[in-house]
Chains A and B, each alone.
Chain A
């Protein structure tokens, strides 16, 4: 049982979005830019992509969770810490150590990743609008927790090297939490994020196992 209703949650997004205006424009520009960089990825562009993602996680954890959501939900401070942690994990792995290489390839995983990306960046806000919500109640990727997690998972599915499992753990966990909240609050469109999280988890684990088996085979040669 959650201590608030869907009406109250979207009223909070309204308050939050009005307070951080015009950052929504910046977030939309960066979201589009991240997708373009992923589609045309070259050396060092992955670092830019991950840096933007990391900034989105830190912002959402610090501002949305610790300043706004904490008013409604006593668990929000913990959420904020986890989001900030995820931001630092992404930065450390993908920017500092350059271990996350994001490059769209003509493979099912990349297409699935792109679909999850578009779901988070575009489809969910459109569904919210279709349900009568205004733009100030929208959940912009890089500014709102669920869509930021979805965006991240979509991009992680476009990684062309060994996928960093542990940078996907928190986004997958968050999409699961989103699904649980969605069921209680009746925001059923968010269950699509949970499905996306499960797809991403499956792919990340399966790919890691394939790579481990390949490494194992090479060791035996």
Chain B
């Protein structure tokens, strides 16, 4: 892994506390120390909707204590929780107050369980507006690690789009700004580099959710302006292990993983089967944690961003941020088990 220059301290804003190494380490310690999590019992069935997000079931089952798993952004002293939250579809709820308030409870659960990384995009309809509404409602901008994207083929529109995103989220800057699906990445990387120099963005990334673009991703990852990559990886879609994940580790890039559940398909395929008994060795009590721990146990992965609209599912997801992670042998065992089903 080639060393990268340390990130510059973030400029203080009206919405965030000043960044420095002490506050980040203190924040990481506070989020981990004393956090115990009641885990929902293992579900052998598909993750059904449990009704309105406000009415998630009470947490019960084995308690997992210990610190939350944090990962360093390569080349920096910054550590972020290994489970974040995506917002594709789940937070695109338009103007409905009822649905927005439901998402606010999902977000509250996310922060209460130690989460900080939220990923969105202008492509996700009203999701950014809803995020801003929810952050206003629950008042959690201080711990937020905001990641969004620029998604326009026109360079001239990129600045306006990013400015609108800041307004919608209610933040002065983003922690991570990514070029969505590599749309005009050459032009946008230049804009983002200027924004980073000006202090409007802390890290620059690129994203892809299409397996067929791995070659293009690999080429763009060689650009020294790129700090992070977002790509698809899960227990079924493992092609990123061949090239992109090793390349990210070699280049010292942070890796954000989308589609850890393959847009819910993994639950449809596997949740009707029982978890293996040895899942307790990695403190998994439900399939969500099984899938997520597989993803985050890859050494190159910095953070996974599962999306959900349910409080109960958020509790399950955040449970993957605690306890033991599978080693290489266990990961192979997990793959063999799912392939046998």
Contact = CB atoms under 8 A, between A and B. Distances in A.
A71 B126 contact: yes
Contacts of B309: 5
B95 interface: yes
Contacts of A7: 99
A120 B126 CA distance: 29
A184 to B, nearest CB: 11
B21 interface: no
Given A8-B92, A8-B93, A8-B94, A74 B99 contact: no
A89 interface: no
Contact of A11 (B88, B99, B125): B99
B123 interface: yes
B163 to A, nearest CB: 18
Given A3-B123, A3-B125, A71 B89 contact: no
B96 interface: yes
Nearest to A7: B99
A98 interface: no
Contact of B96 (A2, A15, A73, A74): A15
B123 A71 contact: no
A1 B263 contact: yes
A29 interface: no
B94 A72 contact: yes
Contacts of B129: 71
A128 interface: no
Interface residues of B, number: 16
B270 interface: no
B99 A4 contact: no
Contacts of A72: 92, 94, 125-126
B124 interface: yes
B98 interface: yes
Interface string B115-140: 00000000111100100000000000
A74 B149 CA distance: 15
A14 B98 CA distance: 12
Interface in B137-167: none
Nearest to A1: B263
B99 A8 contact: yes
Residue of B89, B93, B125 contacting most chain A CB atoms (<10 Å): B125
B89 to A, nearest CB: 6
A11 B89 contact: no
Interface string A31-72: 000000000000000000000000000000000000010011
Residue of B88, B93, B263, B309 contacting most chain A CB atoms (<10 Å): B93
Contacts of B99: 7-8, 11
Given A72-B126, A73-B125, A74-B125, A4 B96 contact: no
Interface of B: 88-89, 92-96, 98-99, 123-126, 129, 263, 309
Given A8-B94, A72-B126, 13 more contacts: A2-B89, A3-B89, A3-B123, A5-B89, A7-B99, A8-B92, A8-B96, A11-B94, A12-B94, A15-B96, A71-B126, A71-B129, A72-B94
Would you list the 7 A-B pairs with minimal beta carbon distance, nearest first? A11-B96, A72-B125, A71-B126, A3-B125, A12-B94, A71-B94, A4-B92
14 contacts: A3-B88, A3-B89, A3-B92, A4-B94, A8-B99, A11-B93, A12-B96, A71-B94, A71-B95, A71-B125, A71-B129, A72-B126, A74-B123, A74-B125
